[in-house]
Amino acid sequence: MSDALSIVVVETDRDRALLIVDSLRDAGAFDVHVISEPTGLARKILARQPDVVLIDLESPSRDTLEELALASGPLDRPVAMFVDRDNEGLTDAAIEAGVSAYVVDGLQRQRVKPILDAAIARFRMFQRMRTELAETKRALEERKVIDRAKGMLMKARGVDEDEAYALLRKTAMDQGRRVAEVAQALVTAAGLLS
Amino acid sequence: MRAATLSVGFIPLVDAAPLIVAQDMGYAAEEGISLDLRRAASWSSLRDMLNFGRVDAAQMLSPMPIAGALGLGGAGPTMSVVSVLSMNGQVVGVSNALAARLRDAGHDFAFDDARLAGEALIRVSPEPLRIGVPFPFSMHAELLYYWLSALGLPAPQGVEIRTVPPPLMADAMEAGEIDAFCVGEPWGSQAIETGVGTLLLPGRAIWEFSPEKVLAVRNDWAEAEEAMLGRLIRAVWRAGRWLAEPGSHILAAEMLSRSPYLDLPAEIIERALTGRMVITPQGDERRVPRFIEFHGGAATFPWRSQAQWIGRQLAARTGLDRDAAARAAARVFRSDLHRAALAPTRADLPGASSKIEGAMGQQTAVASGAGHLILGPDRFFDGKVFDPGHD
Q: Are the Cβ atoms of A67 and B162 closer than 8 angstroms?
A: yes
Whether B165 and A64 lie within 8 Å, measured CB to CB: yes
pLDDT band at A71 (very low <50, low <70, confident <90, very high): low
pLDDT of residue A67: 85
Q: Looking at residue B126, what is its pLDDT?
A: 86
Q: Does the beta carbon of A46 lie under 8 angstroms from any beta carbon of chain B?
A: no
The nearest alpha carbon in chain A to B169 belongs to A39
Mean pLDDT, residues B59-69 taken together:
96
Residue B256, Cβ neighbours under 10 Å: how many? 27
Answer whether residue A73 shows pLDDT above 70. Answer: no
Q: Name every chain A residue with its beta carbon within 8 A of the beta carbon of B42.
A: 59-63
Number of residues assigned to chain A = 194
Among the ranges given (A87-101, B249-263, B341-355), the one the predictor scored with the smallest mean pLDDT: A87-101
Task: Write down the pLDDT at residue B143.
Answer: 97
Query: What's the pLDDT score for residue A1?
Result: 42
pLDDT at A75 over 50: no
Shortest distance between the Cα of A155 and any Cα of chain B, in A, equals 33
* Chain A positions in Cβ-Cβ contact with residue B43 (cut-off 8 Å): 63, 66
What's the mean pLDDT in B140-158?
A: 91
Query: What residues does each domain of chain B span?
Result: 4-87+211-261+294-349, 90-209
Residue A119 is predicted with a pLDDT of 92
- Position B73 pLDDT exceeds 80: no
What does the pLDDT average to over B27-42? 96
Closest-approach residue (CA) in chain B for A92: B52
CATH homologous superfamily of B90-209 equals Periplasmic binding protein-like II (3.40.190.10)
Q: Strand ranges (DSSP E) for chain A?
A: 6-10, 31-35, 52-56, 79-81, 99-104
Instruction: Give me the residues paired with residue B199 across strands.
Output: B93
DSSP states of B263-299 as a string?
-S-HHHHHHHHHTEEE-STT--EEE-TTSEESSTTTT
> Is residue B294 over pLDDT 90?
yes
* Contact state of A66 with B162 under an 8 Å Cβ cutoff: no
- Average pLDDT over chain A, rounded to whole? 87
Pick from B291, B186, B313, B262: nearest CA to B21: B262
User: CB within 8 A of A152, min separation 6: which ones?
Assistant: A186, A187, A190
pLDDT in tens, A139-179: 999 999 999 999 999 999 999 999 999 999 999 999 989 99
pTM of structure: 0.88
Q: What is the pLDDT of residue A72?
A: 53
pLDDT at A82 over 80: no
Chain mean position to CA B59: 10
Report the residue from A39, A70, A81 with minimal CB separation from B136: A70
The answer to whether A76 faces chain B, any CB pair under 8 Å, is no
In this model, does residue B165 exceed pLDDT 80? yes
According to DSSP, residue B247 is labeled G
Buried b (16+ CB within 10 A) or exposed e, A119-153: bbebbeebeeeeeeeeeeeeeeebeebbeebbebb
Helix H segments across B9-113? 17-24, 27-30, 43-51, 63-69, 96-104
User: DSSP letter at B124?
Assistant: H
- Contact check, Cβ <8 Å, B168/A81: no
Q: What count of CB pairs under 8 Å joins A to B?
A: 74
Alpha carbon distance B212, B89 (integer Å):
7
- Check pLDDT > 80 for residue B371: no
What's the CA angle centered on A137, arms B45 and A54, to 5 degrees? Answer: 30
Chain B CB within 8 Å of residue A69 CB: yes
**Residue A78 pLDDT greater than 70, yes or no:** no
Candidates B136, B163, B172; nearest CB to A39: B172
Q: Is the pLDDT of residue A2 over 70?
A: no
Whether residues B41 and A57 touch (CB distance < 8 A) is answered with yes
Indicate the CATH number for domain A6-132. Answer: 3.40.190
Within an 8 Å CB–CB cutoff, is residue A95 touching chain B? yes
CATH ID of A135-193, from 1.10.10.60, 3.40.50.2300, 2.60.40.10, 1.10.10.10:
1.10.10.10
The arithmetic mean of pLDDT across residues B27-54, rounded, is: 94
Does residue A77 have a pLDDT over 70? Answer: no
Contact of A185 with A163, CB cutoff 8 Å: no
Q: Where are the domains of chain A?
A: 6-132, 135-193
Single out the residue of B165, B153, B113, B100 nearest to residue B129, CA to CA.
B153
CATH 3.90.950.10 is the classification of domain B4-87+211-261+294-349: no
Kindly state the DSSP code that residue B196 receives in the 8-state scheme: S
Min Cα distance A193 → chain B (Å) is 23
* A88 band by pLDDT with thresholds 50, 70 and 90: low
Chain B residues whose CB is inside 8 A of the A67 CB are 136, 162-163
Cβ pair A91:B52 closer than 8 A: yes
Does A61 have pLDDT greater than 70?
yes
User: Tens digit of pLDDT for each residue in B173-198?
Assistant: 988 999 999 999 999 999 999 999 99
Name which of A140, A101, A112 is nearest A28 in CA terms. A112
